[in-house]
Structure 1
């Protein structure tokens, strides 16, 4: 079973949304993944997802009651097969923190979306554009699931 960790800055907006959507998407397709999320900072540690993320997850029927922000740990690099950052800064931070030999597990979320491989998912904490975040994350669900299956 592939183990996937989605990562953003505070782990309250983008990465918990990605976590919830991927869990639901893969489950609906009969493919079991271990999915979690984390942040590159500890600023929001212990907090629930942002109300904007909660509204989208609620609308999509995704349970977020047990989601709490947490910072990424060095153990995560050993535990997860895929560590997927939402923007270039997340990816750079993740690569810089990676234990020796683990940086190849780090990826940019949109790298699997044809024609959009270099795009970042902007932080809706700043913009308030949670729907845009949702749409971008939805674009990546199928290609990421296909990649997990191919490389499992």
Structure 2
């Protein structure tokens, strides 16, 4: 089983949206993957997904049920095969938090999208643009499916 963890700062906007989108995609394709999400900070631990994330997921027919913020743990760095941060700040934090025995591949979300490798998924908590977040996450799906599947 392939295990993928999506990470953002608070785990209420970008990473739970990615979790919901990828869970649906994985189910549709009948892939043996486990998808989860977490935060680098403890600020929102225990909170549901942001209302903007919930609204966008409803608009596209996906549930936000069960999307409760949690902070990444040391165990996540060996439990997950891939840990994907939404921006460079998340990726830097992940590298700083990773224990020496990390087995996970830590990457930035847009790093696999041709021509957009250095771009980030902006935080809609600050931008208010949940549609932009959704579109960027959608854009990355085929590239992540290919990258992860080819590195098994």
What band does the TM-score fall into relative to the shorter chain? over 0.9
State how far apart, in whole Å, the 2-side matches of 1:21 and 1:91 are: 21
Q: Mapping of 1:3-152 within 5 angstroms?
A: 3-102=3-102, 105-152=105-152
State how far apart, in whole Å, the 2-side matches of 1:139 and 1:25 are: 13
State how far apart, in whole Å, the 1-side matches of 2:144 and 2:108 are: 11
CA contact (8 A) 2:44 2:70 kept: yes
Q: Extract structure 1 runs of 4+ deviating beyond 6 A.
A: none
- Alignment TM-score, normalising by the size of structure 2: 0.96
- Alignment TM-score, normalising by the size of structure 1: 0.96
Structure 1 residue 31 displacement after superposition: 1.6
Consecutive unaligned residues of structure 2, counting only runs of 5 or more, are: none
Consecutive unaligned residues of structure 1, counting only runs of 5 or more, are: none
State how far apart, in whole Å, the 2-side matches of 1:142 and 1:23 are: 14
Secondary structure of the structure 2 residue equivalent to 1:45: coil
* Aligned alpha-carbon RMSD (Å): 1.2
CA contact (8 A) 1:95 1:103 kept: no
Question: How many residues are treated as equivalent by the alignment?
Answer: 152
Structure 1 residue 57 displacement after superposition: 1.2
